[in-house]
Amino acid sequence: MRVYTHPACLDHQPGAGHPECPARLEAVTGALRAAFPDLDWREAPQADRSALLRVHARELVARVLDRPVEGLVRLDEDTAMSPGSPEAALRAAGAVVAAVDAVLGGDVPRAFCAVRPPGHHSTRDVAMGFCLFNAVAVGAAHAVEARGLARVSVVDFDVHHGNGTQDIFASEPRVQYVSSHQSPLYPDSGALEDRGVGNLVNQPLPPRTGSQEFRARWRERLLPAIDAFRPQLVLVSAGFDAHRLDPLADLELGGEDYRWLAAELAALADRHAGGRLVSVLEGGYSLAALRECSVAHLRGLGAG
């Protein structure tokens, strides 16, 4: 198992007391190093601007990369940039591109991108919800546009719906987007009826949903949808904020649920994609839950 990360991802500072803090990434990388001493750690490169422009408007890319950042610059009430944010965002997106190339090139079957800021709320032209660039979308577009894949599944189990990923790919039949998420909850998107061009599969979950119902919805509806799509590559938006300890949401999952789902996704990747799967850290705001769930997730994917 290969893990991509970079120290620059710790330099994104969205403000004192902000839940999306550098300690999140330190918790994940520390837990993974302790649990899996044989992981193949790699430094994430910076994404090329051309890779960003496949999924983001030129104006958004320029807003993040080209304007001087002094102190704290707020993009909205939840999303801010510091002087270290542009490189952190470039490294996060670059990690996913490098991981996609590694698994498609046969270097490794699976990879995990331990990066921040998260990305799945960033739409084609708006940075929002703690997110600057949509790293998983950059990776999916790279897979279909640069590497020529015909079917890529983006699987998102973050407690918040990945409205940005849906926005970017709603009209792209080569990319399937499959999501479970709490509803009602920010960003108030991801309705059951959203179908795109037949490539969107959303499963809203009510507050207090626990393990049994979560697994049932994946087993009965979401996993079969991925199976039917027969992806040549599986990308995962791995948010761990549906854990019962998370302070920003109200689902009741535990680490074993994340291990179970990772194993199911790995089996799908084995069946259709030659095992090729890339997972990307998204949300999760309890440090204890991040440690537990990141280790459980990689165990499910076959690490250790």
The per-residue pLDDT for 132 is 98
Would the pLDDT of 14 be above 90? yes
Rg, Å, the chain Cα set: 17
Would the pLDDT of 15 be above 90? yes
The mean pLDDT value of the chain amounts to: 98
State pLDDT tens for residues 179-195. 999 999 999 999 999 99
For the segment 142-156, the average pLDDT, to the nearest whole number, is 98
User: Hey, what amino acid is at 179?
Assistant: S
Q: What is the CATH classification number for the domain harbouring 37?
A: 3.40.800.20
Would the pLDDT of 214 be above 80? yes
8 A C-beta contact, residue 61 and residue 50: no
Would the pLDDT of 272 be above 90? yes
Would the pLDDT of 22 be above 90? yes
212 contacts: CB under 8 Å, gap ≥ 6: none
- The domain in which residue 74 lies consists of 2-301
Would the pLDDT of 58 be above 80? yes
For the segment 256-285, the average pLDDT, to the nearest whole number, is 98
117 contacts: CB under 8 Å, gap ≥ 6: 9, 12, 14, 20, 85, 88, 89, 92, 130, 131, 132
Catalytic residue among 56, 121, 160, 272: 121
H or E element, residue 113: strand 110-113
For the segment 53-68, the average pLDDT, to the nearest whole number, is 97
State pLDDT tens for residues 111-137. 999 999 999 999 999 999 999 999 999
For the segment 154-176, the average pLDDT, to the nearest whole number, is 98
The per-residue pLDDT for 304 is 77
Number of domains the chain is built from:
1
The per-residue pLDDT for 268 is 98
8 A C-beta contact, residue 168 and residue 93: no
Clarify whether 121 is annotated catalytic.
yes
Would the pLDDT of 42 be above 90? yes
Locate 82 and state its tokens. 């510091």
Q: What is the pTM assigned to this prediction?
A: 0.98
The per-residue pLDDT for 69 is 93
How far is residue 142's CA from residue 51's CA, in Å, rounded to a whole number?
7
